[in-house]
Structure 1
């Protein structure tokens, strides 16, 4: 099982990168220890702390010819990873 799904690169999380915090979308059943080990192994950095949160999916409504169709987007789990002072992750190195 791959714990990390993708890094979250938004305006808010990019601003947090300057203070050594990085955000990832992770598996729903992953715990903090698994997330820490996965980040350290994949990026070769030292993780000092991990904060997790579950983001509940939003309700969406689409209006069609046959009427309104209501559904919900899927739940995701996010992890905010704090690195050791002076270390950083470069997401754009492979571009």
Structure 2
């Protein structure tokens, strides 16, 4: 896989209550990824950027919310979320900006 493409696959970590619960219980990290990203690309990108071993990748498409503004209805863009399972003993620490 092209290294330039792998650097564009991961957009941001998804930080929420559910994300921290999943991180503690299942040793998974949640990322917002590019809409056309595949599971092998996501796995390779996480291993390249964070120097960890990935066990599994689960992907879900999140539909954009319907919002109203001044009486007109519109829709936010949909996006893709990836649940990346790490092997035992592996950890990603976003507070320090790298691997812990």
Same fold per TM (> 0.5)? yes
What root-mean-square deviation, in Å, do the aligned CA atoms of Structure 1 and Structure 2 show?
A: 0.8
User: Structure 1: which 5+ runs fail to align?
Assistant: none
Larger C-alpha radius of gyration, 1 or 2? Answer: 1
Indicate the residue corresponding to 1:86 in structure 2. 89
Q: 1:12 aligns with which of 18, 22, 37?
A: 18
- 1:16 deviation in Å? 1.1
Q: 2:32 aligns with which of 16, 22, 25?
A: 25
Superposed structure 1 runs of 4+ greater than 3 Å apart: none
Higher helix content, 1 or 2: 2
Describe the SS at the equivalent of 1:80.
strand
TM-score, reference length from structure 2 = 0.87
C-alpha distance in 2 between matches for 1:52 and 1:16: 14
Aligned pair count reads 90
TM-score, reference length from structure 1 = 0.91
